[in-house]
Structure 1
Amino acid sequence: MPDPFSDDAPARLVAEERAGDNSAAFTVSEVSQRLKRMVETNFAHVRVRGEISGWKRAASGHAYLALKDADAVIDGVIWRGVAGALPFAPQDGIEVIATGKLTTYPGRSKYQIVIERMELAGEGQLMALLEKLKAKLAAEGLFDPARKRPLPYMPRVIGVVTSPTGAVIRDILHRLADRCPSHVIVWPVLVQGDGAAAQIAGAIRGFDALAHGGPVPRPDLLIVARGGGSIEDLWAFNEEAVVRAIADCRIPTISAVGHETDTSLSDFAADLRAPTPTAAAEIAVPVLAEVANNVATLGLRAERCARRYHERAGERLAALERVIPRRDALLGPQRQKLDDLAGRLGLALERRAVAARTQLDRAGAALRPAMLTHRLEAARQRLDGASRLLDAAHPNRPLEKGYAWVQARGGGRVIATAAAARAAQAVTLHFRDGMVDVRVERTGGRSYAGDKPEQPSLL
């Protein structure tokens, strides 16, 4: 009989309890749960150093990644609440130290680290992250010098984004009061720590959203300021949200973050970088006394220029007066010519009068009374002959001898033929003592006026 505990025991088709078995078979879920409890109990708090790989933010807000070194890889997950509070934006290739607990994911039979805190593994990694973000934003043109706008010479309203309790705002206000008192609006924000970047970006966009003529004056110039500190203290001004807010702002902006040696990405995005917040105030406005002095100087220069122009004009006029001829010299020839013409005119008129008188005398001698009488008599005879001829040729003269002349009815044309009378049918006979209307009829091939030739019918 074969030994049931021997490795050579034959396999059975159906599993069954064997003599000597002291434990029941586990389910997969039971094994997974036991492993999960064991891993979470023994690795409830761990810190893992590794390079980020495969960083991905899901739509749910949770983040997934892997931490790796030269020989191994471990998956990691960051729940939404923790992912939103990370002090930097994780990127592939950045070495970090992740703090959390190990657990298993039964659905895929693997273990992973649930990250509760993530930090950069040294300032070198922080600078590497900064350089990557800088290269990315520069490639988008956010730091292009062509985007820079000139600052207003004397802004009426200045907006300041900074902490309301630090020395920075006091230095700015004091410097502005010394140089040129201005209307300052402070938007208080956190300048470091959790939520600082979001507040700074929100303040910049809030100032930019103010309308002209609204209840809150829209600034003509913005100053984004913070005092000095370590790179971690100034990190909020390197955040992408802040840099994009400054680049998108339509109000000219001065970045005054840290001391002279400190440089942040906000400096590259702003229209002008100031080495310190105090320097930003000095750049923002001119010295009022200097402005007044400049105005006075320009006024004096304008007055001198006007005076010099007047003097030069007087000199030119005097020079012209010296070369322009005198009035008598200009009008002398014309006056002499006028006198000459006046003398000639008198003589010409006298000669013309003499000639006209001679012509009149000659014509008057020809007008003798006898000659005039003879001419008038000859003209009267010619007129009488023409009158007699006209009287004899008058068309009514034959009517006194019994003749008449025929006219178409209604004052029409004169009828001279029988055919025209037959065509007219109604005619008017003109006699010496009046007119008679008659109707033309045709009888026996001959036309008569009325029933009898000698008695025309009257109409």
Structure 2
Amino acid sequence: MDDLIDDGPETGGNAPEFTVSELSGAVKRTVESNFAHVRVRGEIGRLSLPRSGHIYLDLKDDRSVLAGVIWKGVAARMTHRPEEGMEVIASGRITTFPGQSKYQLVIDDIRPAGVGALMAMLEKRRAALQAEGLFDAERKKKLPFLPEVIGVVTSPSGAVIRDILHRLRDRFPRKVLIWPVAVQGERCAPEVSNAIRGFNALTPGGALPRPDLLIVARGGGSLEDLWGFNEESVVRAAAESDIPLISAVGHETDTTLIDHAADLRAPTPTGAAEKAVPVRLDLMNWVRQQDGTLTRAITGGLTTRRQRLSDLSRALPRPEALMDSARQRLDLAALRLTPALRQRTSDARARLDRLAARLDPALERAVAQKRLTLGQGAAGLTPARLQSVIRQGRRDLSGLSTRLDPARLHARTGQMAEQLASLTTRFQANSQQATKARRDRLEALDKLRQTLGYKETLERGYAVVRGADQVLTRKAEAAGHAALEVEFADGRLAVTPTGAAPKPVPRKKSPPQPPPEQGSLL
């Protein structure tokens, strides 16, 4: 080493000569031997994350810049990922990079410079995730009232899981699936993210049941201990979870970014168990109260209806009283039936006598005419011919007497009366049936009119908006009117749209009326 150091100019041509590599190696050994382990405080400036996994950055203050590199293996074990603008304390060794004739800090560990730097980085990350909408209230899902299976993401060896199981057993025992994870350190964030996504990847109804609710829990600790739950991967996994998620990280005063992304934040792991399930005894008491209320309501309803039925029955007449009037009408009809039959028979007999009286002169004239005819032709008739004419006349006379039989006339009259009564009954039945069908159709059309009419629509909670005597159906149409009229079921109301000055509603001008004519004096 000493033989490479030039103590000053030498006279003559015997001054040592170095190659570039020899000189770069000498500088590298000198720097590394004097700065084998250093701690540097500064602000991260330029930050580069190539695909190789290494991290290249600059540490700077108000006057100088120091290049730094974090190799891939060290970067994978880091608790806090470096971010541009964060003030940190980096530990490592100074070395040179002969390829560019510069020196750099090979970083073995890097931490934020105090709680203030962590809080600044936390606030910056929170603002960025909030700008993406991961903390919006619209993304929050409603927790199930009584989940069948509850998935818990926590350490299996801590007191947190025992507190959760104990509280669930006291309130309402449920089936619990535990996904063991590290709750602090470099393995915390990836394991918690994988656990949330793993629970969501389970098939509903499979051999391993898919949880209805997730609880991410951890006990209290410092900001550094809880930092794994502030990592972006954990926050995104919680926001993307299809299963409702409760965050129970730390004590009541501790706040992490997963609390903002979760569907519900619990102050403690025990509080998360209390929010997950209701109290079984309270539910049983509520069911008993509802059962009592329902029983009283049914009993009261039956009593009220029984009393109502009794009151109505007292207002109804006795069955005997309903039949007395009909029975009396039947008796009166029976008493009037015999005289009516006798009168009907007498009228028919009188009518028959009148018809017979009208037939006797005609019959006498026909017989006389027949005799005259027989007398005129008697001279040329033989006895056999005369007997044949007499027999024919007797048959004609017998047929006429049969047609004039009162019994046959009475039978034909009764038959015609029966036919007339049958036709009258059929006419009345058809008329009543047609009238009933038209009445039913008219009632159905009236009900349809009442259902589809706009007045009935207003009774169901709707309203009609008018502007300048026309119905408005669009917001843009309403915005163009200074005054509106809203019709409700019980009347109309004049309103003014927001942001518009009220203007008088123009009225339709009535057509000009002709001047009154002068009345006549006559």
Normalised by the length of structure 2, the TM-score is 0.64
How far apart are 1:289 and its partner, in Å? 1.7
Q: Which amino acid aligns with 1:269?
A: A
Q: Which residue number in structure 2 is paired with residue 159 of structure 1? A: 151
Given the superposition, is the C-alpha separation of residues 64 and 345 from structure 1 closer, same or farther in structure 2, using an over 3 Å criterion? farther
* CA distance 1:230–1:350, shift in 2 (3 Å): same
Residue 208 of structure 2 corresponds to: 216
Of 246, 268, 275, the residue aligned with 2:260 is: 268
* Match of residue 36, structure 2, among 44, 49, 54: 44
Work out which of the residue numbers 90, 99, 120 in structure 2 matches 1:107. Answer: 99
> What's the secondary structure of 2:99's corresponding residue?
helix
Kindly report which structure 2 residues correspond to 1:197-212, keeping only aligned pairs within 5 A, or say none. Answer: 197-212=189-204
Give 1:370 shift: 6.6
- After the TM superposition, list the runs of 4 or more consecutive aligned residues in structure 1 that deviate by more than 6 angstroms: 367-378
Aligned mates of 2:215, 2:291 — CA distance in 1: 33
Question: Runs of 5+ in structure 2 lacking a partner?
Answer: 1-9, 374-388, 390-522
Residues 273 and 364 of structure 1: CA distance in aligned 2, closer, same or farther (over 3 Å): same
Cα distance between partner residues in 2 of 1:31 and 1:373: 178
Which runs of 5 or more structure 1 residues have no equivalent in the other structure?
1-17, 382-459
1:325-379 CA-partner distances (Å, limit 9, x unpaired)? 554565655555555455445444332222222223343452787777789999x
1:289 matched to 2:281? The reply is yes
Q: RMSD of the alignment, in Å?
A: 2.7
| Residue in structure 1 matched with residue 382 of structure 2 by the alignment | none
Counterparts in 2 of 1:267 and 1:19: CA distance versus 1, 3 Å: closer
CA distance in 1 between partners of 2:161 and 2:316 (Å): 73
SS of equivalent residue, structure 2 residue 68: strand
Which residue in the other structure is 1:149 paired with?
A: 141
Q: Which residue does 1:253 correspond to in 2?
A: 245
Matched, 1:20 2:12: yes
CA displacement at 1:322 relative to structure 2: 4.0
Equivalent residue number for residue 346 of structure 2 = 354
- 3-state SS of 1:306 partner: helix
Asked which structure has the greater CA Rg, the reply is 1
Greater mean deviation of Cα atoms: 85-94 or 114-123: 85-94
Match of 1:70 among 55, 62, 87: 62
Mapped partners of 1:195, 1:146: distance in 2: 31
Give the deviation of 1:210 after TM superposition.
0.6
Amino acid of the residue matched to residue 51 of structure 2?
Answer: A
Once the two structures are aligned, what percentage of the paired residues are identical? Answer: 56
TM-score in terms of structure 1 length: 0.73
The 2-side partners of 1:212 and 1:89 are apart by: 36
Provide closer, same or farther for how the CA distance between residues 372 and 21 of structure 1 changes in structure 2, counting only shifts above 3 A. Answer: farther
CA, structure 1 residues 337+100, in 2 after alignment: closer, same or farther (shift >3 Å)?
Answer: same
345-354 or 161-170, which moves further after superposition?
Answer: 345-354
Which position in structure 1 is the counterpart of 2:84? 92
The aligned counterpart of 1:194 is 186
Match of 1:135 in 2: 127
SS in 2 for 1:51: strand
Task: Report the Cα distance in structure 2 between the residues aligned to 1:41 and 1:346, rounded to whole angstroms.
Answer: 150
The offset of 1:81, in angstroms, is 1.6
Q: 1:375 to 1:158 in 2, by over 3 A?
A: farther
For residues 275-328 of structure 1, the C-alpha deviation after alignment (integer angstroms, 9 at most, x for no partner) is 111111122112222221211111111111111111121232233334445545
Cα distance in 1 between the residues matched to 2:54 and 2:328: 114
2:436 maps to none
The equivalent of 2:503 in structure 1 is none
Residues 1:373 and 1:84: Cα distance change in structure 2 (over 3 Å): farther
Matched residue count: 363
Residue in structure 2 matched with residue 33 of structure 1 by the alignment:
25
Distance 2:154 2:24 in 1: 53
Match of 1:225 among 205, 217, 226: 217
Amino acid at match of 1:168: V
Question: Would you say 1:304 and 2:296 are equivalent positions?
Answer: yes
The equivalent of 1:451 in structure 2 is none
> How many Å separate the matches in 2 of 1:77 and 1:319?
98
Structure 1 pair 369–19 and aligned structure 2 pair: CA distance change class (3 A): same
Q: Within the alignment, does 1:119 sit opposite 2:111 as a pair? A: yes
Query: For structure 1, which segment, 349-358 or 41-50, has the greater mean C-alpha deviation from structure 2 after superposition?
Result: 349-358
